Amino acid sequence: MTAAAVPAGLLPREAAISGAINAAINAAISAGFFFGVFGIGALVPIWGMGHFVFDFVPQSLAVTFFASFVPSLLAIKAAAAGKLAIPGQAPSIRALFLRSVARGLAGAFIGVTVWAALLWALGVQELDPVAALALKVLYGLLLGAAVTYIALQRLFAPVGMAK
């Protein structure tokens, strides 16, 4: 299929598939890091360096960066092979990398701020490890899927719209 023959409905399908794959990968990575950092035995403290809320900084940064960079890079490669059509000029890998770093930094700030505000408002001081694991995995899954979908939508935005 040439770039000119790419059906208009392909992007939502591709973005959904890529988002689902990315969500599963981020959920698995979130679980792995949770076990490595917190284990599964004791209650998980919420506040302080290296504790539950603080851990949303590296988790949000990594998930947002990779959920933006990798699927966008794969889409650009598919476009170069004529499998997808990107409106206008595809961004360079450097621009894509810098855009993904910016998204990662924004994701880290927003992620930790939202979780800190929520847990503070609820007065949570500790979490059961299973509940904490479930929150981390669900967050990684949803964040990965959402960022992938948004990044691909922005990449394939019609010419003249902000990328």
In a domain, 161, yes or no: no
Which of the 8 DSSP states describes residue 73? H
Question: Residue 70: is its pLDDT beyond 50?
Answer: yes
Total domain count for the chain?
A: 1
Which of the 8 DSSP states describes residue 89? P
In a domain, 3, yes or no: no
pLDDT digits over 72-120, tens only?
A: 998 888 888 887 777 778 889 999 999 999 999 999 999 999 999 999 9
In a domain, 94, yes or no: yes
In a domain, 162, yes or no: no
In a domain, 17, yes or no: yes
In a domain, 105, yes or no: yes
- Closest to 136 measured CA to CA, from 79, 71, 63, 77: 63
Residue 67 domain boundaries: 8-155
Are the beta carbons of 50 and 37 closer than 8 angstroms? yes
pLDDT of residue 5: 40
Strand-pair partners of 44: 127
Give the orientation angle of helix 129-155 with respect to helix 10-38, to 10 degrees: 150
pTM: 0.85
pLDDT digits over 2-51, tens only?
A: 444 444 445 667 777 877 888 888 889 999 989 999 988 899 999 999 99
In a domain, 163, yes or no: no
Are the beta carbons of 24 and 18 closer than 8 angstroms? no
More confident residue, 51 or 158: 51
